[in-house]
Chains A and B, each alone.
Chain A
Amino acid sequence: MDRKQPNDSTMFKAVKKALTTFSLFLFPFSFLVAQEDADFMRSMGKMYVVVAVIAAIFIGIVIFLVYLDRKLTKLENQINNHQNG
């Protein structure tokens, strides 16, 4: 019972990490599911297909930014530990 606190926080972190990764992978797919409505996607001369493609590229670049952000956060943490330790 004494170790409940740290266990919870590590679990929270792990769950948070898993959820973030999961949602990142899910994001493009939610989009593919959303366009199951073929009538909508093919209305207006299939213009929404172009919208979906541009949105997919945007999401991809956002995922890249998140990846880079995490990489830099890790580095910052290392630098901080380096200075403190």
Chain B
Amino acid sequence: MKKHWWKVLGVLLVLYSFAMGLLTPLKTGILDAQPASVRAGKSVTLLVTGYNSFYTKNPKEIRAWLKMDNERAMAAKNVEVVGDRDLKAIFDLPQFLPVDKKVQDFTLILDSPTDGASVLPSGVFVTQDSIDKTAGEALWQNANISGLHEKAAITFPFRNILGETIRNTYYHVPLWFAMFILFIAATVTSIKYLRKMDPNDDAKAAALTTVGILYGVLGLVTGAIWAKNTWGAYWSFDVKQNMTAVGLLIYCAYFVLRASFEDPEKRARISAVYNIFAFSTLIPLLYVIPKLTDSLHPGAGGNIAFGSQDLDNTMRMVFYPAIIGWTLMGVWMAHLVFRAGRLKRLLLEG
């Protein structure tokens, strides 16, 4: 049992990521505000639909704002709670807005002591009949958004398009991290093979690459399912999707190469060299090219991955253990493949 502690640890970490990742609720969010498009100069009643919200708990203390930019926001005249998930926010819109645009988008912000603050980015579009910036500035009654509450519970962030799928951060993303770690390990064993010429190292590299490809394919499949329901298509020809597909094909060619040699020593030597080459192409494919162009993925095309926007501290508590867990599980799987391969070699030799 002592020898197997890392396998137990891997399983426990993955189990923990399943339990924590699935049981922790999301923060309160705003699903929808109707009408989404209103005219300036009128009193407008927004019907707001909340997510994971408990508006009836303290209906008197709920506040609402329409935020235009970092300095300017207007407060709701009145907030009427209809149900736990429905409320009406009434705004008196001025005749003119202090902008040079005909249509201005506003971010709806709600604050409640039980639920904390929730946001619907660009939730309401206000159209003004004519543009008069100075009149708009004179009419504007600015409200300070202050005293926002935090929900007093362990929660994951609510993002409008993502919804509950933010949890896929613990199931889709760690597969890629674990794949990369397995490929690093495979490359290191390949280098070790070229130095020491121990056939076990070659077998280890091949086993680690097998599991790495399994993780990569699973990463593509889980990513496609996630993309279908958030980006709208299984495959959007996003640069990161394309480049990972190319990277995985390069790694698949590793096994085609291995199958094409009869002589085990020649196979081991050439595939070790190829493995180093494959890994060295993986870094630009996965981490350089996607950063140079526009991408839907966070962490590419100017989006900063793992900023507070994508991953808060509660999420980190699940995300990092998931990476370690899947890596250990992957090493375990690779170890099984390696042992099966070693038995085969012993059989052929004996």
Q: A32-B234, A38-B229 are in contact. Are A75 and B168 (CB under 8 A)?
A: no
Taking the closest CB of chain A, its distance from the CB of B260, in whole angstroms, is 19
Q: Cβ of A57 and Cβ of B165 under 8 Å apart?
A: no
Which residues of A lie under 8 Å from residue B337 when comparing CB positions?
A: 68, 71
Q: A45-B164, A50-B22 are in contact. Are A82 and B347 (CB under 8 A)?
A: yes
**What would 14 more interface pairs be, CB under 8 Å, given A45-B26, A53-B222?**
A32-B225, A32-B234, A35-B225, A41-B228, A46-B165, A49-B225, A50-B22, A50-B168, A50-B171, A53-B171, A53-B225, A71-B337, A75-B343, A75-B344
* A interface residues (Cβ-Cβ under 8 A, vs B): 28, 31-32, 35, 38, 41-42, 44-47, 49-50, 52-54, 56-57, 60, 64, 68, 71-72, 75, 78-79, 82
Interface size range of chain B in the complex:
20 to 34
Of B221, B225, B228, B336, the most chain A CB neighbours within 10 A belong to: B225
Other-chain residue from A53, A68, A79 in contact with B226 (beta carbon distance below 8 A): A53
A54 and B124 alpha carbons, distance in the complex (Å): 35
A56 and B51 alpha carbons, distance in the complex (Å): 27
Taking the closest CB of chain B, its distance from the CB of A35, in whole angstroms, is 7
Which residues of A lie under 8 Å from residue B211 when comparing CB positions?
A: 64
Q: Cβ of B222 and Cβ of A56 under 8 Å apart?
A: yes
Task: Return 23 A-B CB contacts under 8 Å, by A number.
Answer: A28-B221, A41-B229, A42-B229, A44-B164, A45-B51, A45-B163, A46-B162, A46-B165, A46-B230, A47-B163, A47-B164, A49-B225, A49-B229, A52-B225, A54-B18, A54-B171, A56-B222, A56-B225, A68-B336, A68-B337, A72-B340, A75-B340, A75-B347
A75 and B229 alpha carbons, distance in the complex (Å): 43
Which residues of B lie under 8 Å from residue A32 when comparing CB positions?
A: 224-225, 228, 234
Count of CB-CB pairs between chains A and B under 8 Å: 78
Of A28, A35, A54, A75, the most chain B CB neighbours within 10 A belong to: A54
B258 at the interface (CB under 8 A from A): no
Taking the closest CB of chain B, its distance from the CB of A51, in whole angstroms, is 9
Which residues of B lie under 8 Å from residue A52 when comparing CB positions?
A: 225
Q: Cβ of A71 and Cβ of B347 under 8 Å apart?
A: no
Residue of A nearest to B167 (CB): A50
Residue of A nearest to B347 (CB): A78
B214 at the interface (CB under 8 A from A): yes
B172 at the interface (CB under 8 A from A): yes
Which residues of A lie under 8 Å from residue B234 when comparing CB positions?
A: 32
| Closest 7 pairs (CB-CB, A-B) | A45-B163, A45-B164, A46-B163, A60-B218, A47-B164, A53-B222, A49-B229
Residue of B nearest to A74 (CB): B344
* B interface residues (Cβ-Cβ under 8 A, vs A): 18, 22, 26, 51, 162-165, 167-168, 171-172, 175, 211, 214, 217-218, 221-222, 224-226, 228-230, 234, 333, 336-337, 340, 343-344, 347
Taking the closest CB of chain A, its distance from the CB of B120, in whole angstroms, is 15
Q: A53-B225, A72-B340 are in contact. Are A60 and B214 (CB under 8 A)?
A: yes
Q: Cβ of B225 and Cβ of A64 under 8 Å apart?
A: no
A53 and B17 alpha carbons, distance in the complex (Å): 14
A58 and B26 alpha carbons, distance in the complex (Å): 24
Taking the closest CB of chain A, its distance from the CB of B6, in whole angstroms, is 18
Which residues of A lie under 8 Å from residue B340 when comparing CB positions?
A: 68, 71-72, 75
Other-chain residue from A45, A57, A78, A82 in contact with B218 (beta carbon distance below 8 A): A57
A42 and B221 alpha carbons, distance in the complex (Å): 18
Q: A46-B165, A49-B229, A71-B340 are in contact. Are A60 and B217 (CB under 8 A)?
A: yes
Taking the closest CB of chain B, its distance from the CB of A70, in whole angstroms, is 10
Which residues of A lie under 8 Å from residue B165 when comparing CB positions?
A: 46, 49-50
Residue of B nearest to A71 (CB): B340
Q: A60-B218, A72-B340 are in contact. Are A53 and B172 (CB under 8 A)?
A: yes
Taking the closest CB of chain B, its distance from the CB of A50, in whole angstroms, is 5
A31 and B228 alpha carbons, distance in the complex (Å): 13
Which residues of A lie under 8 Å from residue B51 when comparing CB positions?
A: 45
Taking the closest CB of chain B, its distance from the CB of A71, in whole angstroms, is 5
